[in-house]
């Protein structure tokens, strides 16, 4: 996708600031700062691709709603620009294959966009699902439209407050967990998004290998990550404890590896299962987990935990 390729070439933001806290300021008198939003995915096992189309964002500040549109660059039709007014050139929504953004990969929704400095209450992602092949899932080579519950058709709202510091920058990642969000119903595939937003300056990651003896035929290997130490692992069903994220274990040169990224610093319980493909987010499934382990995540570092 051209938009994604262009965005991957853009420089990442140099200065990061903690959510809800003032960061270092490059010019104390400035009345603006910059915001970067990236998007990542917790992968799902039953799909070939999951395309989500974003037409823009809404950001609620103190008494002011900022709406941003993705528009075709008037100087170069192959590029996309972010506009605070409705597009005067054709709209150029971002259609991202979220399955390409797992295992610590992420892509930009905003990259250093200038906003008034101050506190912001929430972000809403404006997603297209009403058209044909705007947001859709590919299963065994077949395209299936994704519909969205009526209550979410105005957008996917993240009620996470954050600050854009004067003369500084804020940098966050939105985890669009497809394993929890894509549901097969009687009328087709539905999108019931489960989103979490983390401050990149406060995160670390966990990665490791899974012994081949733990991956027999018919196994769908994955590592479930739960917030806190000593958690008894459970499936995804909307009832605590639900995992923060699930990392698929994938073969790499004969070795199964996994990576759970964008985790805020703290203790986590990890549990391995072969039954990830059987986990239906709409029901309580009896998954078989191995013995759980507690792992500490440190800001800016990767912790290795092998199974």
pLDDT digits (tens, 9 = 90+) for 28-66: 457 999 999 999 987 777 789 999 999 999 999 988 999
Structure tokens at 104: 């610590």
242-289 per-position pLDDT tens digit: 999 999 999 988 899 999 999 999 999 999 999 998 998 878 888 999
Q: Residue 150: what pLDDT?
A: 66
Q: Which residue has the tokens 């497809």?
A: 178
**Residues belonging to the chain:** 307
By the 8 A CB rule, do 231 and 27 touch? no
Pairing of strands 188-191, 142-147: parallel
Pairing of strands 156-158, 107-116: unpaired
The rounded Cα 194 to chain-centroid distance in angstroms is: 9
By the 8 A CB rule, do 268 and 227 touch? yes
Q: Residue 152: what pLDDT?
A: 58
Mean pLDDT of the chain: 87
157-211 per-position pLDDT tens digit: 999 999 999 999 999 999 998 888 888 888 889 888 889 999 999 999 999 999 9
Angle at 229 (CA atoms; ends 227, 232), nearest 5 degrees: 80
By the 8 A CB rule, do 42 and 177 touch? yes
Phi and psi, residue 279, nearest 5°: -85, 105
Cβ burial of 218 (10 Å; 0-12, 13-18, 19+) is: exposed
Helix (H, G, I), strand (E, B) or coil at 202: helix
Pairing of strands 118-128, 162-164: antiparallel
The answer to whether the peptide bond before residue 241 is cis (omega within 30 degrees of 0) is yes
Q: Which domains does the chain have, with CATH numbers?
A: 2-193 (no CATH), 203-304 (2.60.40)
Q: Which residue has the tokens 């972010």?
A: 82
Please tell me the distance from the alpha carbon of residue 101 to that of residue 81, in angstroms, as a whole number.
22
């Amino acid at each position: 996708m051209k938009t994604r390729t262009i965005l991957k070439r853009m420089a990442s933001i140099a200065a990061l600031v903690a959510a809800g806290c003032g960061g270092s300021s490059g010019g104390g008198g400035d009345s603006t700062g910059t915001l970067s939003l990236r998007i990542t995915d917790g992968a799902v096992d039953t799909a070939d691709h999951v395309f989500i189309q974003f037409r823009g964002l809404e950001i609620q500040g103190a008494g002011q709603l900022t709406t941003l549109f993705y528009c075709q660059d008037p100087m170069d039709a192959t590029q996309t620009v972010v506009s605070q007014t409705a597009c005067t050139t054709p709209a150029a929504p971002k259609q991202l294959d979220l399955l390409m953004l797992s295992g610590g990969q992420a892509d930009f929704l905003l990259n250093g966009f200038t906003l008034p400095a101050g506190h912001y209450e929430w972000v809403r992602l404006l997603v297209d699902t009403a058209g044909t092949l705007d947001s859709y899932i590919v299963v065994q080579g077949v395209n299936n439209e994704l519909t969205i519950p009526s209550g979410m058709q105005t957008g996917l709202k993240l009620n996470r407050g954050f600050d854009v510091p004067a003369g500084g920058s804020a940098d966050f990642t939105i985890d669009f967990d497809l394993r929890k969000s894509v549901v097969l119903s009687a009328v087709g595939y539905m999108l019931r998004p489960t989103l979490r937003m983390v401050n990149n300056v406060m995160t670390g990651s966990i990665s490791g290998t899974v012994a081949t003896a733990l991956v027999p035929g018919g196994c769908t290997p994955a590592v479930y990550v739960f917030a806190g130490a000593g958690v008894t692992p459970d499936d995804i069903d909307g009832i605590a404890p639900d995992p923060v994220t699930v990392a698929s274990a994938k073969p790499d040169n004969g070795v199964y590896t996994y990576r759970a990224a964008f985790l805020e610093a703290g203790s986590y319980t990890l549990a391995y299962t072969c039954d990830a493909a059987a986990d239906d987010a709409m029901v309580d499934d009896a998954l078989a987990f191995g013995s759980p382990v507690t792992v500490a995540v440190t800001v800016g570092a990767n912790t290795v935990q092998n199974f």
